[in-house]
Structure 1
Amino acid sequence: MPQPLLEDVYKRSGIPTYTFVRPTEYQRLYVALRTKGRGLVVEGPSGIGKTTSIIKAIEELGTGSTVIKLSARKNEDRARIENLPNEKNFGTAIIDDFHRLNDQTKQAIADFMKTLADEDAENSKIVIVGINKAGDSLVSFAPDLNNRIDTIRFETNPIDKVIELITNGEGALKINLNTKEEIAREANGSFHIAQLLCYETCLAANILEAETEHNHVEISFDLVREKVFEDLGRQFYLAAREFATGPKLRREGRAPYLHILHWLAVGNEWTLDLVQAIRDNPEQRGSVGQVVDKGFLDSFLNGEHKDLFSEVLHFDNLTNTLSVEDPKFVYYIRNILWNKFARQVGYSSITFKTSYDFALSFAGSDRDVAEAIFEGLSVEELSVFYDKNEQARILAENVEDYLSPIYRTEAQFVVVLLGPEYPKRIWTKFESEQFKHRFGENSVIPIWFSYAPPSLFDETRKYGGIEYNRDKDLTEQANYIVDKLIQKIAEVRISANSEQ
């Protein structure tokens, strides 16, 4: 009998043989698979062993029923998936990468699963395999499906399961790895990453097949990790850089796409709930919230770099979650030196002392100007407090308590639109009380309107500002104001970086 080969023991793709380990949820999966007709959703991070466990459990069941393995990544498989509702007695159909299907197909599959469950179908069963929240996505197309399917979520594997995998491989190759515990910790619950690290460790130690006698392997894990990171860099650096840059590199902006990638890297899960992430990082709420709420992130991921991003990331705009498609990509970004990477991308600093770059203060009669300025600054990925954009957050809050700190300290600059109605309104009086002390701190930028009585704002003329003429083109003047504000914030960024 031939000796086991390294590539067959620590497998980097395909179904493992020597190193298969039953995950914690295996028994639930086994029972759910043998339940007739009832749909099953298996969700969790990529590389965690979902598909492998399903195949192994079906083999163990030994029902002899037909098993169809379909992937939404393949054109020919997508055609078969779309036709499934028209088929009968097809056995067990495993639909992998469900999140990649279009909404129409998802809807049809959801309705079909409901029918199969209601009929207790004997010879037809659908198993959906997807990244985190695949079940939520499915149920969103058929809310009453929730009680007709089983949803099993594969978490990251506990370290003892990862060590079991490594140990199985050691037994097959007749070796003992001195770095077993380090590999298990570094894998962070991913069987796939554990396989990769073990494979590279054995290569470095010249273990290409099973040893004739048991061998203790001494190798530097730091060298292995560096080699793996270097290899992954050739594969993933471009995708990481293009994502971090966003649609356009805006050096004076708040780098929202860079922050999103960083949050994904430092999180414990392989899926980033952007709504929760924004709550946890309020200093980035304006910039990141903008690219999510306005659909910029979705458009960016489906734009000119779609093919590059689709191999490593998936964004679900229904649940606002960003998930990793390839576990090697998340391992790569978790090992990035982020300060160095930010500089390589083009951002000299990603540290911000205030929640907003600008806060707009204006009377309602000048909202058209304020909105034009807000839109112009937001496109440049700057964080802007604009009341209309914050209405949902202000609901049920004490408005004075909510607004006061923004105008006092939480905005780098207050841009005040000094139109003729400004001194007459209650809220503008309140806002100006909060920021009036900041004139002496060079933090207030006045915009003087042509029809405003000069005497009202004489005091503000001591400070640099911009003239606005109601008789001239709004768009042209708003663009001019935006350009000047961008130049100002860029000067502040450069000055702050030079002092560090």
Structure 2
Amino acid sequence: MSQMRVEEVFKISGGVPVHTFVKPSEYSHLKVALRSPGRGVIVEGPSGIGKSTAVNKALRETGMDEEVVQLSARSPEDVEYIELLHELGKFGTVIIDDFHRLQDSVKSQISDMLKIMADAEDVGRKLVIIGINEAGRSLIRASPDLSNRIDVIRFEVEPDVKIAELVKSGEKAFNVRLTAKELIVEKSRGSFYLAQLLCMDACVQADVLEKPENIVEVNTSFAAIQRRVVARQRERFGDVVRSFARGTKFRPSGRAPYLHILRWLAESDSWSISIQDEMRKHPTEKASVSLVSDRGYLENLANSEGISEILHFDPDTRILSVENPMLIFYLRNISWSDFIREVGFTKVDYKENYDFALSFAGEDRSFADALRDSLEDLGHAVFYDMAEQHRFLGQDVETYMGPIYASGSRFVIAVLGEMYGKKRWTLFEVSQYKKRLTEGEVIPVWSDKIPPSPTDPVRDLGYLTFDPEGDLTQQANSHAAILTRMIQER
């Protein structure tokens, strides 16, 4: 009789674990939802948390596993089948995995089916949808009246007691004792999958590949497990993660919004983050991250080849989720100082919220608009009054804007048109940034309609000029390129 193998106990692929299955916290709710006739079941949560395993186990325990069709939105053939479901009549129980990858039109079609099935308490059809965080919300967004017709089961990060139960079951089944058990439980951060992988690696490094006759002490240190696992995942994820951190317009002196997003993900207790929530927690990076999110750059990057296999970004909820359970372990265990140097950024932590703050009179707003667009296209964080208007409504505007011109931006760009010194707000802004004139932190952009004056001390500073009657976009693009070179050298 062949001996039990380590991969049969600590399973990282294949079906339901025989020896190390642990009921997730929401398991009882899941079973009840599966037994309810006609009602759709949405199982959502981070990757690697055990959603698919729990669904298959629960279907078996409820006797519903005989005619189950499992489909994945990652498979083009399966997607074709999913699109035809509404024409198939009594199709039994169908599981749709990776639901978040389906097109909105297909999601809408499924939403209509779920309403019909629930209202009829259809015993001949059951849809079980598995997706990452907010899969249920995307369905309800397509059809708001669906909310009372489906059961949404949220699988969150499991408590340590559940992970410890898995490790203990594995030790007993495989006749071993893991000296790194406590750290394995802690570093798994609520993931059954990671716990399985770390336990298996501990045994493999100790050369315990088959079940021993007597209990064996596996003395592999957690540090050794961590080094080996991270090294393997570096080969797998390294290039893709570096590509994400650099973004589409990499500048060594840039504010690195995508790198900050990765670091927020690594520091999160969950396996997904709300970009909106994270920006509130990190005000210094708020402007640059808001730029790439609002303009669709983050969505485009997340959908690019390679990156889309490990990360998913929902532009409606602005939630970024990990697709691969090993990615989060990799991000949490790399040296971030080394990673930043590898990516090529010269600086990523700034005390100022903005690279540039624009100061101008309303008469020159057209040029200021063009300059702001050009600077943001090059990846700079720019303070522009109308873009921030919603943030200071009902507040004292001077209290809000004063610190930005005084010290909250690396540079102030003063667009000095004919009305600049005659407007209340420009006079206020000058009073805030005046002391920075001698520090080289104010860049004058003079209108060529204003003749030089020997009594004007600002004329002694290096400056740019613009023609308010010329091609504003062309001038703004030229100035933005010069300002970018300047900021790279400071």
TM-score tier by shorter-chain length is over 0.9
- 1:454, distance to aligned residue in structure 2 (A): 4.0
Q: Distance in 2 between matches of 1:314 and 1:300?
A: 10
- Aligned CA-pair RMSD: 1.5
Counterparts in 2 of 1:108 and 1:201: CA distance versus 1, 3 Å: same
- Contact in 1 for aligned 2:367/2:468 (Cα 8 Å): no
- Contact in 1 for aligned 2:254/2:348 (Cα 8 Å): no
- 1:399, distance to aligned residue in structure 2 (A): 2.0
4+ residue runs of structure 1 moved beyond 6 angstroms?
Answer: none
User: For residue 254 of structure 1, what is the amino acid of its counterpart?
Assistant: R
Match of 2:458 in 1: 460
Match of 1:73 in 2: 74
Counterparts in 2 of 1:14 and 1:396: CA distance versus 1, 3 Å: farther
Q: Distance in 2 between matches of 1:472 and 1:318?
A: 39
Match of 1:368 in 2: 366
Q: Distance in 2 between matches of 1:366 and 1:273?
A: 37
- 1:294, distance to aligned residue in structure 2 (A): 0.7
Q: Distance in 2 between matches of 1:63 and 1:247?
A: 48
- Contact in 1 for aligned 2:452/2:459 (Cα 8 Å): no
Counterparts in 2 of 1:468 and 1:7: CA distance versus 1, 3 Å: same
- Contact in 2 for aligned 1:45/1:324 (Cα 8 Å): yes
- Contact in 2 for aligned 1:65/1:92 (Cα 8 Å): no
- 1:408, distance to aligned residue in structure 2 (A): 1.4
Q: Distance in 2 between matches of 1:168 and 1:64?
A: 25
Q: Distance in 1 between matches of 2:460 and 2:439?
A: 13
2:229 matched to 1:228?
Answer: yes
Which string of whole-angstrom CA distances, capped at 9 and with x for unpartnered residues, describes residues 324-351 of structure 1? 0001011111111111111111102211
Match of 2:355 in 1: 357
Q: Distance in 2 between matches of 1:372 and 1:425?
A: 21
Q: Distance in 2 between matches of 1:64 and 1:482?
A: 62
Equivalences, count? 489
Q: Distance in 1 between matches of 2:363 and 2:302?
A: 38
Given the two structures, how large is their TM-score scaled by the length of structure 1? 0.95
Match of 1:258 in 2: 259
Which string of whole-angstrom CA distances, capped at 9 and with x for unpartnered residues, describes residues 63-110 of structure 1? 465211111011111111111122222122111100000010011111
Counterparts in 2 of 1:456 and 1:259: CA distance versus 1, 3 Å: farther
Which string of whole-angstrom CA distances, capped at 9 and with x for unpartnered residues, describes residues 292-345 of structure 1? 00111112223xxx2311211011111111100001011111111111111111
Q: Distance in 2 between matches of 1:430 and 1:108?
A: 56
Match of 2:24 in 1: 23
Match of 2:427 in 1: 429
Match of 2:134 in 1: 133
User: For residue 488 of structure 2, what is the amino acid of its counterpart?
Assistant: A
State which drifts further: 65-74 or 199-208. 65-74
Question: Secondary structure at the residue paired with 2:237?
Answer: helix
Which string of whole-angstrom CA distances, capped at 9 and with x for unpartnered residues, describes residues 216-236 of structure 1? 222222111101110110001
User: For residue 224 of structure 2, what is the amino acid of its counterpart?
Assistant: L
Counterparts in 2 of 1:396 and 1:128: CA distance versus 1, 3 Å: farther
Match of 2:156 in 1: 155
Unmatched runs of 5 consecutive residues or more in structure 1 = 493-500
Question: Secondary structure at the residue paired with 2:306?
Answer: helix
Q: How does 1:276-425 map to 2 (within 5 A)?
A: 276-302=277-303, 306-425=304-423
Match of 1:180 in 2: 181
Q: Distance in 2 between matches of 1:31 and 1:151?
A: 12
Match of 2:9 in 1: 9
User: For residue 11 of structure 1, what is the amino acid of its counterpart?
Assistant: K
Q: Distance in 1 between matches of 2:371 and 2:444?
A: 13
Which string of whole-angstrom CA distances, capped at 9 and with x for unpartnered residues, describes residues 262-282 of structure 1? 111111111010011111111
Match of 1:214 in 2: 215
Match of 2:94 in 1: 93
Q: Distance in 2 between matches of 1:95 and 1:151?
A: 14
Q: Distance in 1 between matches of 2:261 and 2:335?
A: 16
Counterparts in 2 of 1:88 and 1:343: CA distance versus 1, 3 Å: same
- 1:471, distance to aligned residue in structure 2 (A): 5.0
State which drifts further: 53-62 or 398-407. 398-407
Match of 1:477 in 2: 475
Q: Distance in 2 between matches of 1:286 and 1:456?
A: 38
Counterparts in 2 of 1:263 and 1:457: CA distance versus 1, 3 Å: farther
Match of 2:110 in 1: 109
- 1:186, distance to aligned residue in structure 2 (A): 1.1
State which drifts further: 76-85 or 214-223. 214-223
Which string of whole-angstrom CA distances, capped at 9 and with x for unpartnered residues, describes residues 386-435 of structure 1? 12222332333332222111111111111010000212222222222222
- 1:455, distance to aligned residue in structure 2 (A): 4.8
- 1:438, distance to aligned residue in structure 2 (A): 1.9
Match of 1:497 in 2: none
- Contact in 2 for aligned 1:252/1:486 (Cα 8 Å): no
State which drifts further: 384-393 or 319-328. 384-393
User: For residue 190 of structure 1, what is the amino acid of its counterpart?
Assistant: S
Question: Secondary structure at the residue paired with 2:169?
Answer: helix
Which string of whole-angstrom CA distances, capped at 9 and with x for unpartnered residues, describes residues 25-56 of structure 1? 11111111101111111111100001100100
2:249 matched to 1:248?
Answer: yes
Counterparts in 2 of 1:338 and 1:461: CA distance versus 1, 3 Å: same
- Contact in 2 for aligned 1:36/1:121 (Cα 8 Å): yes
Q: Distance in 1 between matches of 2:9 and 2:290?
A: 45
Q: Distance in 1 between matches of 2:246 and 2:254?
A: 11
Q: Distance in 1 between matches of 2:367 and 2:299?
A: 28
Counterparts in 2 of 1:429 and 1:341: CA distance versus 1, 3 Å: same
- Contact in 2 for aligned 1:157/1:189 (Cα 8 Å): yes
- Contact in 1 for aligned 2:202/2:218 (Cα 8 Å): no
User: For residue 44 of structure 2, what is the amino acid of its counterpart?
Assistant: E
Question: Secondary structure at the residue paired with 1:446?
Answer: strand
- Contact in 1 for aligned 2:253/2:347 (Cα 8 Å): no
Question: Secondary structure at the residue paired with 1:254?
Answer: coil
- Contact in 1 for aligned 2:164/2:185 (Cα 8 Å): yes
Unmatched runs of 5 consecutive residues or more in structure 2 = none
Question: Secondary structure at the residue paired with 1:94?
Answer: strand
Given the two structures, how large is their TM-score scaled by the length of structure 2? 0.97
- 1:171, distance to aligned residue in structure 2 (A): 1.4
User: For residue 287 of structure 1, what is the amino acid of its counterpart?
Assistant: S
Counterparts in 2 of 1:457 and 1:203: CA distance versus 1, 3 Å: farther
Q: Distance in 1 between matches of 2:175 and 2:250?
A: 52
Question: Secondary structure at the residue paired with 1:269?
Answer: coil
- 1:456, distance to aligned residue in structure 2 (A): 10
